[in-house]
Amino acid sequence: MIKVRFFKIKLITFLFSFLAFVLIGKTAFCIDQIPFLASEIIVEVSPNNPQPNETVTIYISSYSTDLNKATITWRSEGGVVLSGIGKTSYSFSAPPANVSALYSISITPQGGKTINKKISIRPADIDLFWEADRGYAPPFYKGKTLPITNSSVKVVAIPNTRNDRGFSFVWKKDGSVLNDNSGYDKNYYTFINSSFDLSNEITVIASAVQGDYVAQKNIEISVYEPKIIFYKKDPAMGIDYNNALVDNSSVTDEEITILAEPYYLPTKDGSGKFIYDWSINNKLIDTPLKKNELSIRPTSRGGYAIINLDLYHISNMFQKAFNSIKINF
């Protein structure tokens, strides 16, 4: 009797395990067979607004199926560019500005039907120009004035497209969106850099009011040190901007006038905001009538003169410059 009961218990256990296995297998099989929709495939592009010829990566993902087990085929207009199991990303070089690149993605999960997705990449270009709008540079200077600490910088965006029906601009500074400076037709942004900034990253996103033009551009604007450069001013020939006076310069004139040019300092508003401290052979002298010009006459015995100039803003301790040269007679 005991053996019969034991046999029945084993038989019931076996039948229960078999039924559970069958049910679980059917459930798993059913789960694998659940169809998914194209809308359940998420397609992302990095960067969001690629520039011409920039490296672009397309990513696909899904919460409804395991794409790592799916067969994925990427096609361009020229044919298959990538195919295999779990190929969830593809990188390529973006086409030139205003040229479209079309990609088709076929996704076949294990035991499921193929889903197709399409994406078009159309890079747009935009030019960014900047200047330190109140910095100083002497006449005929071929470069542009560079930003120094606490200087005003203006950035202008010009979309590179034939679309002329208006644009909306989004400006960012060091990653933060500037809502007050963004909007329709706001194609420029002016800011004053911080006392502790070494550089500033400026980003603009321009989008056409009508059409599919969207362009993004990032630039980094460094902060520079102002500098004083000395030039010789001749009564007859004027200022010799082609030859700066350097340390240990030799002159044979009976009198020499030294002109100090304060590169990049905001002296366009007038020199009254800056103090000029001149010294000769380490002795402070009265400020000349023309603050940036110093005339000296050598002694009959010749010799040399060490010329120092300290230039600093009355109220802004970060805007200052210094130079020193030795003149031999």
pLDDT the model gives residue 268? 67
Confidence of residue 293 (pLDDT cuts 50, 70, 90): very high
| Average pLDDT score over residue span 175-186 | 96
Q: How far apart are the first and last CA of the chain?
A: 131
Cis peptide before 47 (omega within 30 of 0): yes
- For the chain, what is the mean pLDDT? 86
Confidence check: pLDDT of 15 > 60 = no
Q: What is the value of pTM for the model shown?
A: 0.73
pLDDT the model gives residue 130? 95
Confidence of residue 13 (pLDDT cuts 50, 70, 90): low
What would the two tokens of residue 280 be?
């000769």
For residue 109, give the 3-state DSSP assignment: coil
Q: Tens digits of per-residue pLDDT, 30-49?
A: 334 456 677 889 999 999 88
Confidence of residue 23 (pLDDT cuts 50, 70, 90): very low
Mean pLDDT lowest among 17-26, 149-158, 160-169, 226-235: 17-26
pLDDT the model gives residue 272? 62
Which class does domain 38-121 fall in?
Answer: mainly beta
- For 125-222, CATH number out of 3.40.50.740, 3.40.50.300, 2.60.40.10, 3.40.640.10 equals 2.60.40.10
Beta bridge partners of 102: 120
Helix (H) or strand (E) holding 130: strand 125-132
- Identical fold, 125-222 and 227-328: yes
Confidence of residue 115 (pLDDT cuts 50, 70, 90): very high
pLDDT the model gives residue 33? 46
| Average pLDDT score over residue span 89-110 | 93
What would the two tokens of residue 294 be?
């110093």
For the domain spanning 227-328, the CATH number is: 2.60.40.10
pLDDT the model gives residue 35? 60
pLDDT the model gives residue 157? 96
| Average pLDDT score over residue span 59-74 | 93
Domain residue ranges in the chain: 38-121, 125-222, 227-328
Mean pLDDT lowest among 164-168, 215-219, 296-300: 296-300
For residue 13, give the 3-state DSSP assignment: helix
Instruction: Kindly give, in sequence order, each residue whose CB lies less than 8 Å from that of residue 321, ignoring residues fewer than 6 positions away.
Output: 225, 226, 227, 228, 262, 263, 265, 311, 312
pLDDT the model gives residue 112? 83
| Average pLDDT score over residue span 316-321 | 90
Confidence check: pLDDT of 1 > 70 = no
